[in-house]
Structure 1
């Protein structure tokens, strides 16, 4: 190891192997990023301004929109620069910071979705005590715990990844610093770190996912007991947006992280990352706006007021 020189920077390869797609990638990333920013900022503004939306469900939605806005901002701007140049240089410390912030945001969203599932479970299964249970203090505490848990979880993965020595290859086959493509560049055997990271990820993510699913057991049970079809649909519509977001988030994210880094495919990794790190945060505002009448009304008021 003493004969090796520690790396000071990495090179993000991005989509350099397909230069004919550069214009498409730049256009797509720019469009999706701007659309996502506009959608999430609109939701945050509407929730703050509209008094009817000052409830626990929209408090969580506001925090989810803020998370999604930060989530895409960690990766897309750098990816655009990389696409413009054909490849992008990122310093060692910048790579560490990007991975830490990205994992913090993604894991915080995971925990926040669990808190939102608990909120929907309480609202539908125990409506008479919902207001007393889901106080502003409890909602703030749940969000704070989600952020703290995400930061601690990310700190583990960042240390687990960058405690490995990097002294040879420095080309990351991705458009941002992520665990699998970075770990594969280590100049020593990374399989132990890989197994430890995989075990922790499996326990934390699957536990969060299990709690989310368990929250839907009383929800489905309560909805099934509603006699009218309209009543059942109205009750289900209050959690259908959240359920859609959960399926998209866990479905795409698990493909990337719940498998060994040694099985990582650069092409598959980039495609999967586009879905869970860019498309899903961008689609969340659309999902919640299309299925929520109160949000539609609030956004109409927001934009009509601007025009007037």
Structure 2
């Protein structure tokens, strides 16, 4: 056991309780009504290494939905289904600087394709690229992929969150129809694409699941637990680059400077992060800042990364 791992065991609970105080400055997401039920002061973190060791601290047993974290993995599946050329004909590779649910650039910039796969418009386009004859077939493939990455065949959709998203997703529905008008969603039914999108965002996980999924990315698509290559290395490289440049919404630059880790957040308060070649990290902290990221979770990741000089930069 390394000195770093020993120090993590000792310090993580202490750092977590210090970061928990930051939750008071955030608010739980309420625009999806079902998410408003999450405990605002919760904070948990799980860290997995490549030797089947795991550290847990705080409220890491709390169940939550993936939300935008799922976009990293639907991107990987779409790349495996369509290749780079097929995916990047429909979505770009650039940060936007706009909110995650903005449609501004779709009209202002030519061609009118989403700037990247991690904003809502981009993830909706990516959802349309996943192989399957029906929405059910597509979501079954997505769920099986997520289950394999997380090492848990019991992962399932939280139906209450899915229905809540479906009923209140007026902006996402507008984005999808705008994509249809721009020719991004070709030969597909918009409502069927949205069903796939809302359902993969509503898959329920805990911090351990996130850490295991992140661990596969940390080891370039290989699962160090099973020894299997689950995703081609090139596609993981693409996903990690997007996580650095776009993964924390329009706070990605600040997070890259302060923590320097590939990460992806979701409005449920989850954050998936990784230290390449070393660790997969899962965080939950439902209270969000104005950018849509966990206030306490971001602070905790920055604290731990700085303590061990994990930054890529």
Structure-1-length-normalised TM-score: 0.32
Q: Which has the larger radius of gyration?
A: 1
The structure carrying a bigger helix percent of its residues is: 1
The structure carrying a bigger strand percent of its residues is: 2
